[in-house]
Structure 1
Amino acid sequence: MNELTYIRYSVGFVFIISGLMKFFSEELGNTFISLGLPYPIYFMYVVALVEIVCGHLIATNKHVRNASIPLILIMIAAIILTKVPILTSGFFLFAFSARLDIVMLILLTVLYKNSSRLK
C-alpha cells in the first residue's frame, strides 16, 4: 500500500462519518439553519448524501478524481460560510477553527491531482 491509499481511506472515512452525522445530529441541522441558506434541512441532507457517496467512492478507489470535485466545493463552501466570519475575532481563532477543513481541502486536492496514480 502506498501513501495515497492511506490518504484515500482517511478522506473517505472523514466524509462518510461527516455525512452520516448530518442525518443523526440535531445540532448540525441547527447549524445549517443558522447559515441562512434556502431550505437548510434539505440542503443539509443533499450535502450529507454527497459526502457519503463521494467518501465511499474515494475509499473504494472508484472515480476518485470525479468524487473529489464535489467534496472540494463542499469544503470551500464550509470555509466561506462557517470559518471566514470568525476572522473578525482574529486570525489565530480562524486558523484553529478551520484546521480540519484546510487539511481536508489539501488532501482532496492531492487525490484529485494524483488520481491517475491510484489505479
Structure 2
Amino acid sequence: MKPTKLICYVVGCVFLVSGLMKFVDLSMVSSFEQMGVPLSNYVYFFVALFEVMAGLLLIGRIFIHICLIPLIFILLGALFFTKLPLLSGDGVFAFLFASRLDLTLLILLLFLWTQRKDKEAFT
C-alpha cells in the first residue's frame, strides 16, 4: 500500500469520527460559543458536515484536492480558537502538547496537498 493511500485512510477516519461526534454530542455547541466563534451554531454544524463529507471523500480517495481545502481551514481554526490561547496562559509546552494532533493532521494534509498532481500516488 502506498503511503498516500494510508494517509488518506487515517486522516479521513479522524475527521469522519470527529464530525460524527459533533452530531452525536450537541453539548459541544456551547464550546464554540465560549470560544467566541461568530454564528457559533451555524459554524458548528457546517464544520461537522464538512468533516464528515471530507472524511468520507478522503477515505474513498475522491476529490482529494477539493476536500483538503476546508479541512486545512478547519484545523487552522481549531488551532487559532482552541490552542493559541494556551500560549499566553499556560506556555509553549502546554500549547505544543494540546495541539499535537492538530499539527500532525495539518502536516499530513499539507503533504497530501503537495501530492495532488501525482495521480498515481493515490491509486
Match of 2:100 in 1: 99
Q: What pairs up with 1:1-119 in 2 under 5 angstroms?
A: 1-88=1-88, 89-115=90-116, 116=118, 117-119=121-123
> 8 Å contact 2:57–2:64 — kept in the other structure?
yes
Identity %: 38
AA matched with 2:113: Y
RMSD, matched Cα = 1.1
> 8 Å contact 2:20–2:52 — kept in the other structure?
yes
Distance between the aligned counterparts of 2:37 and 2:30, measured in 1?
A: 12
Distance between the aligned counterparts of 1:4 and 1:86, measured in 2?
A: 32
SS at match of 2:62: coil
Distance between the aligned counterparts of 2:38 and 2:69, measured in 1?
A: 23
Higher mean displacement: 33-42 or 70-79: 33-42
Structure 1 gaps of 5+ residues are: none
Distance between the aligned counterparts of 1:78 and 1:7, measured in 2?
A: 20
| Paired residue total | 119
TM-score (norm. length: structure 2)? 0.92
Higher mean displacement: 29-38 or 105-114: 29-38
Distance between the aligned counterparts of 1:64 and 1:50, measured in 2?
A: 13
